[in-house]
Structure 1
Amino acid sequence: MSHDAEQEISAHLIHDALQHVISSRNFANSDRKKCFLKFIVQETLAGRSDRIKAYTIAVDIFGRSPSFDPTADPLVRIEAGRMRRCLEHYYLTEGASDRVQITVPKGGYVPHFSLRTEAKSLVAPVMADERMNAGRMPAVIPTPAVFDQAPAALASSSPLPHKPLRLGGRLPIVRLLLAILLAVTLIGAAVLFLLLEPQETEKGRIIAERGPTLIVLPFENDSGDPAQTIYARGTTEAVIGALILFKNIFVLGADSSFRFQTQKVLRDAIPGVRVDYVLKGSINRMDSRIVINVALLRAEDHQYLWSGSFRQEFNPGNMIDLQQDIAMQVARIVVQPHGVIDKAELRSNAGRPPDALSSYECILQTREYWRQPNAKQHKQVRACLEQAIRMDPNYADAWAALAFIYTDEIRVDFNPNAERPDPAGSALELARRAVALAPDSPLPLQAVAIAHWLRREPYLSIAAYEHARTLNPHDSDILADLGRAYSLTGDWDRGIPLIREAFERNPAQPSWYRMFIAIFHYMHGRYPEALEEARKIGTPDLVYTHVILAMIYGQIGSKDEANYEVNEILRLYPDFGEKAMFEFERRNIAPAIIVGMVDGLRKAGLDVSSHEEAANQKD
């Protein structure tokens, strides 16, 4: 059994804790999450935690066939992520006073049980208010520790006068009423500040300049059933909650959506407010199916940029899961990197010279460069970002993006700078500056991760990627980068599902990530599958595109194709054969993978020097 070593927890207490969780609002309407949690807890209590594997869960709980392949299908990992988030929310709200806490640590599915030293009785009534959920930025929600400190903070404040005003001798009631009045006043001021900050404060204006602003209008109930109005409101909040996970766009909170209802009302209430995009939707119930229609409009001229229709079977057991699934689908399509808004913004500044671009537009250009890396665009983007951090030194994403660009001076040898002999070290400094500016943003952590990777510190790199994933588990760039890191170190079981999930979540994911799936198939002797993936890489200016193709053609004996790819390698990197071992090792590629890659390259006709030969040539 997995639990705290200091204290034994009885099975009876754990069963009670389980019942509390699965009876909560977060779990009551999701049969899948309930079955998942019950299975792993009961198996652990029965001493069978060794059975708690992705395959067993998929087959026994989710009804998948015995041919289920956990490396190809991320179902269990996705469901585990949802369950973890629901558990975290439960213990901040309904379960704040529970004595036993159930968690499922990342990296596996075996639950952990711990005794909570103090009931957080003050947290539950505050956090239970649904207005504190998806519509607010996570940073403004007090943690339990803040509430725990409240009594001490009050005790240290200025005392009341020795002879306070008495009303009927009921001083405790008066004090209580004064305290409530003060709390309501502070909360009201805080809400007003949060609501108006994006438009009326200097910080808000800076945020607006760094990226577009989007408002989600309340989803309409087109079903004719008044009871569905609550579900429509919940869908609106779920969509907002999914959108705010992505930091490349500023999303107005749920309070703004429900208070102002339309873009015009918002502008009338707060003159000068900036809204770039409007998302609206409707729900309709048809027998056992629910239809949710969503559209994205450009606020300036109300031009439709995208619309989608989601049709799903609907029942009380899946209604919450369905809401969350659709919300994440909408968020991925609309706001994730390379999504609808990114493309619209790129079109609007197409053809403008780099020195005329804003800081945010430089970030957009950087994302476009990542899709199809080439030396010319690398140089342009680097100049743009260097100007951006001079003009806007507090813009964390610009520092992070520049860190990425510096790493490409060594990673793919684009435009090396003699004044920067250690690009990876310089990139790490930039990335750390970005983290200091925005510790809750995933992009700076990704920049830290790639810098550590190129400094040959793979486990520090993976740790940074994992931290970024906790901030936004749905960002396809994070999933793909983390999958690349795991794969090259030989951990295929973790790496390949992440890359595949990235492409499932974002079909516009940069195609060069497919080279790692190609290597995966190659190392398992599946050369036709490897070739199919390699042909989709589509980045002819990257030497590794041709390295992957050459080693596959070498293994299958396609001499003409192998010869062509070898010539392309030497065109892009004339002494690659001499430095191949060094290049592979500095990318933290596992030794067994290096052996397999070198074997294929030699069969393709590339003269790859061994360590000893390379050392002799250097001497």
Structure 2
Amino acid sequence: MISAGVEGANRGIPSSEEVRQQLDRILSSSEFRLPERARRFLEFVIDETLGGRREYLKAFTIAQAVFGRDANFDAQQDPCVRIEAGRLRRELEHYYLTAGAADEIIITIPKGGYAPAFEVRRTAEALDDALQPSREQVEDRPIAARGRPGYRYWAIAGSAAIVLVSATAVLQYMRTPDAANAPAAGAGDRPTILVERFESVTDGRLASDISRGITDDIIEKLVPFNEIGVVTAVPPNKDQAAAAQPSYALQGSVRLEGNTLRSTARLVRRADGAVIWANNYDADMQVQGVLKTQTSVAEDIATAVARPFGVMFRTDTETIAGSDDTYACVLSYYSYRNEMTSAAHDAAQSCLQRAVEKMPGDSNVAALLSLTHLDEFRFAFQLNTKPTAATLKTAKGLAEHAVQLDPNNARALQALMLASFFGNDMPEALRAGAAAYASNPNDTEVAGEYGLRLSMSGEWGKGCELVSTAVSRNAGPRGYYEVGMALCAFMRGDTQAAELWSRMSDLDYNPMHRLVLLSILGALGKGDEAREQIDWLKSKAPAVIPNIGPEVEKRLARKQDQARFFAGLRAAGLPVQTDAPLQN
């Protein structure tokens, strides 16, 4: 049985009736926010497990039972089941951190499979006993500290620092850009995470080595995320300004059960001790070996914590909204990308412009300011912008400046990739994208955007794999990269999967998303549904239709890809004048 991603689950096994009652409770909760398909997914895997058929819970059977796929379904080419399972895991985690925080029965979908696990939460008395330090721990304390609330927390943090400081002294304080002649960003300009040594729950040398290794690997994976700082010890002067103290503590534990590595992780806001994120990770060490399994788990944890648009950015946006410091301007960019309105775009751009003037040595703010100008090209019909050559020149200049300040900043390289892409320099765009991905492959925004550029350049296999990875890691604003998966399926001729992915995307995020769906519907011969999309475009985004040709040609590099897309639009009833040849 596995941990439920919240503290306090014991080894008790609930009855089938208790599990079904808990399922009803989850599905009826307003905090369980997934659509009907995901609900059927959860009901199906629970019914099969309770019926003694958990060994049949494979992607193929779920695709047929829940998604209505036929016998030709290929899980390698169409990861819809894996993506939906990931969404389901995250939503169950959200439920147990909100409405289900006091529920007795815990239901999870362990990573690495689709069979659910069921547990009974430990009672409050048992949890209190488990949190009490051992007699040896009490006797080893300074007398004045015995019985002090929170002592055990700081003892763990202190020992983590002692273990890690010799190997990672360079990480004691946040990284800053390598600008030689400009002031660099200071520790107060972005949040800092204190990475505590993961606890070894299982006795023995192997578990201890893995806990130390996962901790070190997490630090290594977190450092390339330039929007955050990473430390391994609390600054010695606890009386200094709060801005110099780490904002968050990343804590966790490791347990070995046979060949299974089970790790829990949680992100704690140090100001008030609130757990703002928690999850568990299961892995079979026989599949990849100990070291690769350890690295894989560390990557998952680091990505979940630090990815753009993730939990930390959402939390910080709520707590420092309206502030005028540099990090608030960084948050304003991610907030605008979620909101996607002209007003939010203009506010983020203005804030970042002031931040660049205030902190000319900060690579991140220069990169994000560049992206706000590039978004006038990417999302022109949503933001009602009219990008010009001067806009592109400004964007590219900022991107090049950001890369000069920090050549390893993945966000700066991402901005340079997009500036080159919209400047019609595909080779340079792909070079910058490859460098961005190499700098931080765990940055889901970089992986997704680079994957899209590769795909649109004609490298659909490699590009779609990266987009799929980004989607599986919950990249970007909700529903953003799913349209990339729709294009991937469409270009390989799987129009049924393409429609599914397109409808999973956020169609209101960008009118171009509806154009993708329209081409797919045309290829499927769904005339009535296609007319609904044409009517929407004419009503809500009338500027799209007369500009379809150049907009598609600007994005899809190959003539055969353009021809397939235009053929779908024509079949949908939308006449398009282009230079692309008609597809046979």
Distance 2:286 2:575 in 1: 63
Q: Retained in 2: the 8 A contact 1:486–1:495?
A: yes
| Correspondent of 1:478 among 446, 471, 474 | 446
- Could you say which residue in structure 2 is the equivalent of 1:346? 317
Q: Is 1:135 matched up with 2:168?
A: yes
Structure 2: gaps of 5 or more residues: 1-72, 80-162, 177-181
Letter in 2 for 1:404: L
1:219 corresponds to which residue? 198
SS in 1 for 2:185: helix
Secondary structure in structure 2 of the residue aligned to 1:284: strand
Shift of the alpha carbon at 1:573? Answer: 4.3
Give TM-score scaled by structure 2 length: 0.65
Rounded to whole Å, the distance in 1 between the matches of 2:562 and 2:294 is: 45
Contact residue 482 and residue 495 of structure 1 kept, 8 A:
yes
**TM-score where L is the length of structure 1:** 0.62
Of 480, 483, 501, which residue of structure 2 is paired with 1:533? 501
More RCO (CA 8 Å, sep 6+): 2
Query: Aligned to 1:244, which of 223, 226, 231?
Result: 223
Aligned match of 2:576: 608
Does structure 1 conserve the Cα–Cα contact (< 8 Å) formed by 2:511 and 2:544? no
Per-residue deviation, residues 29-87 of structure 1 (Å, max 9, x unmatched) = xxxxxxxxxxxxxxxxxxxxxxxxxxxxxxxxxxxxxx9886668xxxxxxxxxxxxxx
> Quick one: structure 1 residues 136 and 604, their matched pair in 2 at CA, closer, same or farther if it must change by over 3 Å?
farther
1:277 aligned onto 2:248? yes
**Superposed, which structure 2 residues align to 1:95-494 within 5 Å?**
135=168, 195=172, 206-225=185-204, 228-252=207-231, 256-257=232-233, 263=234, 266-268=236-238, 273-314=244-285, 318-350=289-321, 352=322, 356-413=323-380, 414-416=383-385, 421-494=389-462
1:143-162, Cα deviation, whole Å (9 max, x unpaired)? xxxxxxxxxxxxxxxxxxxx
The CA RMSD measured in Å over matched residues stands at 3.3
CA distance in 1 between counterparts of 2:309 and 2:327 reads 14
Give, in angstroms, the shift of residue 368 of structure 1: 3.1
Kindly provide the amino acid, as one letter, of the partner of residue 348 in structure 2: V
**Structure 1 pair 474/465, CA: closer, same or farther in 2 (3 Å)?**
same
- Alignment of 1:549 with 2:517, yes or no, is yes
Three-state SS of the structure 1 residue aligned to 2:504 is coil
1:582/1:284 Cα in 2 relative to 1: closer, same or farther (>3 Å)?
closer
In structure 2, distance between residues paired with 1:499 and 1:222? 36
* 1:494-517 CA-partner distances (Å, limit 9, x unpaired): 111110011123356652222222
**Distance in 1 between residues matched to 2:286 and 2:238, nearest whole Å:** 40
C-alpha change, 1:228 and 1:583, in structure 2 (3 Å) is closer
* Distance apart, 1:322 and its partner CA: 1.9
Distance apart, 1:339 and its partner CA? 1.9
Tell me which residue corresponds to 1:190: none
Question: Residue 357 of structure 1: CA displacement?
Answer: 3.3
Distance 1:317 1:364, change over 3 A: closer
CA contact 1:71–1:496 (8 Å) conserved in 2? no
2:556–2:562 contact (8 Å) kept in structure 1: no
Aligned equivalents of 1:526 and 1:520: distance in 2? 9
Q: Cα distance, 1:298 vs. partner?
A: 0.4
For 2:444 and 2:486, the matched residues in 1 are separated by 19
Query: 2:479 aligned with 1:506, yes or no?
Result: no
How far, CA to CA, are the matches of 1:218 and 1:551 in structure 2? 52
Q: Which is further off, 390-399 or 440-449?
A: 390-399
State whether residues 396 and 438 of structure 1, in contact with CA within 8 Å, keep that contact through their aligned partners in structure 2.
yes
- 1:592: how far off? 1.0
- 3-state SS in 1 of match to 2:186: helix
- The amino acid across from 2:188 in the alignment is E
Sort the Cα spacing of 1:426 and 1:510 in 2 relative to 1 into closer, same or farther, 3 A.
farther
Percent identity, aligned pairs only, is: 23
Measure the CA separation in 1 of the matches of 2:204 and 2:295: 21
Deviation at 1:233, TM superposition (A): 2.2
| Cα distance in structure 2, aligned partners of 1:249 and 1:426 | 26
Aligned equivalents of 1:606, 1:299: Cα separation in 2: 56
Aligned amino acid, residue 234 of structure 1: G
> CA deviation digits over 1:3-35, x for unaligned, max 9?
xxxxxxxxxxxxxxxxxxxxxxxxxxxxxxxxx
How many Å separate the matches in 1 of 2:450 and 2:167? 27
| Cα distance change, pair 71–452 in 1 and its aligned pair in 2 (3 A) | farther
Q: Distance in 2 between matches of 1:591 and 1:486?
A: 15
Shift of 1:196: 6.1
Give 3-state SS (helix, strand or coil) of 1:293's partner: strand
Q: Is the 8 A contact 2:184 2:359 kept in 1?
A: no
Task: Say how many residue pairs are matched.
Answer: 420
In the TM superposition, what whole-angstrom CA distance separates every residue of 1:320-378 from its partner, at most 9, and x where no partner exists? 1221111111101111112221121122134x3xxx43221222221233345333322
Measure how far apart 1:559 and its partner are: 2.5
- Is contact 2:194-2:249 (8 Å) kept? yes
- How far apart are residue 489 of structure 1 and its match? 1.8
Q: CA deviation at 1:545?
A: 1.4
Shift of 1:227: 6.0
Contact 1:486 1:492 in 2 (8 A): yes
CA contact (8 A) 1:406 1:423 kept: yes
Residues 114-152 of structure 1 deviation map (CA, whole Å, 9 limit, x = unaligned): xxxxxxxxxxxxxxxx97997365xxxxxxxxxxxxxxx
Q: Is the Cα–Cα contact under 8 Å of residues 448 and 475 in structure 2 kept in the other structure?
A: no
Tell me the distance in 1 between the aligned counterparts of 2:188 and 2:481. Answer: 31
How many angstroms apart in 2 are the aligned matches of 1:468 and 1:315? 32
Q: Please give the per-residue CA displacement for 1:223-245, whole angstroms capped at 9, x wherever unaligned.
A: 23366434322222122112112
> Which structure is larger by alpha-carbon Rg, 1 or 2?
1
CA distance in 1, matches of 2:485, 2:564: 15
2:55 corresponds in structure 1 to none
Cα displacement (A) at 1:216: 1.1
1:105 corresponds to which residue?
none
Q: Distance in 2 between matches of 1:364 and 1:551?
A: 35
Q: Residue in 2 aligned with 1:563?
A: 531
Superposed displacement of residue 312, structure 1: 3.3
Q: Spell out, residue by residue over 1:535-585, the C-alpha distance to the aligned partner (whole angstroms, 9 max, x if none).
A: 122141522112112122222232232112112223344354433222222
- In structure 1, what is the Cα distance between the partners aligned to 2:312 and 2:373? 26
Which amino acid letter does the alignment assign opposite residue 598 of structure 1?
F
Distance 2:484 2:284 in 1: 36
